[in-house]
Amino acid sequence: MNSWRDRLNQLGGRTRFVVCRLFIHLAGEEVAPLLGTLNRAAREAVDAEGDLEVLGEGLVEICQNLLQYDTYWQSAANEGNVFWDEGEAGDYVTELFTDSAQRYGSIPEPDDSAASDEPFSLPVTRHLVVMLTVAYEGEVPELETDLSNITALKAGLKALINLHYQQRLRAIQVHFSPAQLGDELTSDQVLLNFPELIPL
């Protein structure tokens, strides 16, 4: 990604912004507990009103959990772009947010299950797709490469953790499908709604 334009902008002292999105598809009955971690991080992010430090801590916890669940990884994909203008980077973050939010069942809905008299029995999803979108300053080779193999994906998740501790993250978004326990994501829905996924 280090083109002649990158080098020219470096010489001009301009700040390099990167916006990237990772998709990780996990499969197996054991992946459902990850939904608890994802929903807790989402609630904390809402409560913190988007505070980047809190979002970063949630991202670290999610990445660490994903690394522990690596035996359930099925497929992955990533995309991104380099910007020299913060406004353009922000626009791309918004574009990716809108796209991620429109994926099947990727936004938690208000919890109204307490009002139900139904017996407590929820189907357990066998599929989970996590979408992580970040914007950061500088250059991170581990994220600016093809992450559709296990070794590269592990390095990319560790790089996200490091970016938080280096305080280089400028935006963080987490989406996941299904968004709550009890919702199911079928194999067909994975293929239909996440066509960019590449088997690991």
Q: Whole-angstrom Cα distance, residue 15 to residue 78?
A: 23
Confidence band (pLDDT; 50, 70, 90) for 113? very low
The predicted structure's pLDDT at residue 61: 96
pTM of the predicted protein model? 0.87
User: How many residues appear in the chain?
Assistant: 200
pLDDT exceeds cutoff 70 at 123: no
The predicted structure's pLDDT at residue 151: 96
Confidence band (pLDDT; 50, 70, 90) for 195? very high
Using CA atoms, how far residue 110 sits from 33, 113, 118, 130, in Å, is 19, 9, 18, 20
pLDDT in tens, 36-85: 899 999 899 889 888 999 999 999 999 999 999 999 999 999 999 999 99
pLDDT, the chain, mean: 87
Domain ranges within the chain, ordered by starting residue: 24-107+125-199
Output the CA torsion 6→9→13→19 (10° steps): -60
